[in-house]
């Protein structure tokens, strides 16, 4: 029996407030400076596109995005650390891109930490390019760091 996630049996579904406990488990395990519970709850309540990725009955990843004025902004895309490097981030990103195209968005934007090589590699593999930086965007142990801003034309 393989311990690797079976992406053929992955299911995407909208996130609800009942998912926030598990989302927070993943967020806390994946990031040194995670989003707060309140941010996730607010995103769900206001109707952002909040999607969960399940393997079997277990939530293992999520994405959150907004669409406005012909643009999509990918706010958060995360896969549980124990499930990373198996194509699940790509499944979430492909779904986010389909949503954006379905809303007739012309572009998708995102911010990423410069040191997050895996995420940058994923985004580049889908055609995202770096178009700039946001100064002091992310918290670090030593203060703040800039974010890379990436864009994909849809």
Q: Is 82 a catalytic residue?
A: no
Closest CA to 26 of 115, 74, 90, 88: 88
Pick the catalytic residue from 4, 111, 126, 133.
111
Contact 117, 148 (CB under 8 A): no
Pure H helices in the chain: 20-30, 37-46, 88-102, 117-125
Measured from the Cβ of residue 96, the count of other Cβ atoms closer than 10 Å reads 23
Q: Which residue has the tokens 């911010």?
A: 111
The pairing of strands 58-68 and 49-55 is antiparallel
- DSSP state letter for 142: T
**Would residue 62 show up in a list of annotated catalytic residues for this protein?**
no
Catalytic residue among 27, 48, 62, 123: 123
Annotated catalytic residues are 111, 123
């Amino acid at each position: 029996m393989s311990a690797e996630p079976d992406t053929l049996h992955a299911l995407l579904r909208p996130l609800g407030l009942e998912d926030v406990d598990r989302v927070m488990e993943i967020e806390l395990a994946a990031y040194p400076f995670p989003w707060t519970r309140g941010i996730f709850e607010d995103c769900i309540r206001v109707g952002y596109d909040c999607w969960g990725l399940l393997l079997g009955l277990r939530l293992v990843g999520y994405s959150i995005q907004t669409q406005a004025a012909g643009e999509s902004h990918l706010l958060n895309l995360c896969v549980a650390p124990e499930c990373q490097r198996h194509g699940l981030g790509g499944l979430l990103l492909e779904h986010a891109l389909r949503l954006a195209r379905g809303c007739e968005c012309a572009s998708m934007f995102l911010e990423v930490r410069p040191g997050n090589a895996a995420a940058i590699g994923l985004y580049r593999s889908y055609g995202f390019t770096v178009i700039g930086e946001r100064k002091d965007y992310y918290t670090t142990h030593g203060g703040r760091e800039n974010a890379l801003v990436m864009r994909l034309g849809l």
